[in-house]
Amino acid sequence: MTELERYQDPLTIQRLLRSASTIAVVGLSGNELRASNFVGYYLKRHGYRVIPVNPRETEILGELSHRSLLEVPVPVDIVNVFRAPDALPAIAREAVTIHAGALWCQFSVINEEAARIAEDGGVTVIMDRCLKVEHARYVGRMHWLGFNTGRITSVREGLQ
């Protein structure tokens, strides 16, 4: 667990959420009932440019789907992964190749080798965390539905 916590640092998570603009979602499903589609839809709704990476689809959430990260034609701030853990090392290598800012692996998408590859290549790693949940925790409205954000603050934020 302590190894994983290295990849779950709250300050790193907040910096990524606030600085990223383009998010490539590897394994994004075209099925509206799948978790990855919920996350992609949510991120797009909150102003991020969402780029699907899924060789089995041509268009998802109104965006052209790419066969691999290497085919994404624009700089990527976050690579968000919805794939089995054993697919992670190859994805990490591609993330390094395209100079992605961060490799963000969803719940249970855990692979130490991939984390090492990404870190050695200068890519920030977040692992076993949901990008939608973390956005909803720090920026969004997760608290509107009674979920425990863990946040304690008396700072007044701007209009929502």
Partner 1 sequence: MTGERNLLEAARAFGFETRQLHAGQRPDPNTGARAVPIFQTTSYVFEDPESAGAYFNLQEYGNTYSRIMNPTVAVFEERMANLEGGAGAVAFASGIAAQAAALFTLLEPGDHVVSSSALYGGTINQLKHLLRKMSVELTWVDPDDPDAWRKAARANTKAFFAETIGNPAGNVLDIETVASLAHDHELPLIVDNTFATPYLCRPIEWGADIVIHSATKFIGGHGTSIGGVVVDAGTFDWSNGRFPVIANPSPAYHGLQFHETFGTYGYLMKLRAETLRDLGGTLAPLNAFLFLQGLETLSLRMERHVDNARAVAAFLESHELASHVTYPGLPGSGYRLLVEKYLPRGAGAVFSFDCAGGRDGGQDLIRSVTLWSHLANVGDAKSLIIHPASTTHRQLNDAELEAAGVGSGTIRLSVGTESVDDLIWDLEQALAHVR
Q: Is 28 in the site for partner 1 (CB under 8 A)?
A: no
Q: Residue from 33, 56, 62, 73 that binds partner 1 (CB under 8 A)? A: 33
Q: Is 107 in the site for partner 1 (CB under 8 A)?
A: yes
Q: Residue from 6, 45, 99, 116 that binds partner 1 (CB under 8 A)? A: 45
CA distances from 45 to 49, 67, 85, 133, 146 (A): 9, 24, 27, 14, 21
How, if at all, do strands 59-60 and 63-64 pair? antiparallel
The DSSP bridge partners found for residue 103 are 79, 125
| Site map (CB under 8 A) of partner 1, residues 125-154, x = contact | -----x--x--x-x-xxxxxxxxxxxxxxx
User: Other C-beta atoms within 10 Å of 143: how many?
Assistant: 12
- Segment near partner 1 (CB under 8 A); pick from 36-44, 50-58, 64-72, 74-82: 36-44
Residues 6+ apart with CB under 8 A from 139: 17, 18, 46
Q: Is 73 in the site for partner 1 (CB under 8 A)?
A: no
Which residue type sits at 33?
L
- Segment near partner 1 (CB under 8 A); pick from 37-45, 65-73, 88-96, 111-119: 37-45
The DSSP bridge partners found for residue 23 are 50, 78
Q: Which is nearer to partner 1, 29 or 72 (CB)?
A: 29
Our measurement of the distance from residue 82's CA atom to the centroid of its chain's CA atoms, rounded to an integer in Å, reads 9
Q: Residue from 22, 30, 41, 57 that binds partner 1 (CB under 8 A)? A: 41
Binding footprint of partner 1 on the chain (CB under 8 A): 9-11, 14-15, 18, 32-35, 38, 41-42, 45, 107, 130, 133, 136, 138, 140-160
